[in-house]
Structure 1
Amino acid sequence: HGLCMFDADERMIICNRHYLDIFCLDPAIVRPGIRFFDILQHSVEIGVASHSAADLYAIRKPYIDGAKPSTYEETLSDGRIIDISHRPLASGGWVSIYEDITVQRRAELELKEQHRRFDAALANMSQGLLMYDADGKM
């Protein structure tokens, strides 16, 4: 999981390497003291973000300002899906945890598609269907 902590002035206090890796961020640029908006701008400049920095900030700002924990997903320009969890701090800052859930989401979509196909096959059968479990019981 990627982890990043910001203070009440929206400046990064600390992040782990996985956070940088998830968003392909340059550690020479994204380091303690950088403003949150500047991280978003950097992600736009390197082509990772799927929106402008201003749009990303507008999307994330309500979560940052919220006084309660929140979770949402963001799709990056390369199609990866990132689960983002915000946790407010008493000091006015926040901690965010980032997880790449692309494989999980694709598996869920595939399972839904298989379920849809199975339902369509059953609905269009002219014969009955008998199912057995692994022990050979009906």
Structure 2
Amino acid sequence: MKVYFIRHAIAMEREEWKDDDLKRPLTKDGIKKFKSFFKKISRSLKKPDLLIASEAERSIATAKIIARIYDIDYKIDNRINPGADIMQYKLLLDEMADNNINSVAIVGHEPDLSNFISFYIAETALSLKLKKGAIVYVKDKVLYGLIQPDLI
């Protein structure tokens, strides 16, 4: 299975946001930068069969940008909300495999994504830290690419 792990775009800082963390939005600059970045990078990434976001507003807003560019729908899954553990991601991917999904894009959070990717491809802790908006491409549990937005 092909998996694009995507960290949500730049959101308001936790310290600035006084409401429920799940409602913390992307910044206007974060939206602008991610749209520009993803338009460029989407040319070299095949459209996934399924796009999944956590319930967090910042994850949903990032998924909406991706969905518009690829002209696909997205699904919300609370198993990958901020603080999700490795097993939640594993159960989600196992479910995708059981349903014969060939490729999936998952918009999630740090450090959850890095922790799961480390487990998924190496079954150990790797020194992996995803910047906001980063994309990690994994195929059949092999890391094929890590794209950090400020490199484009």
TM-score (norm 1): 0.32
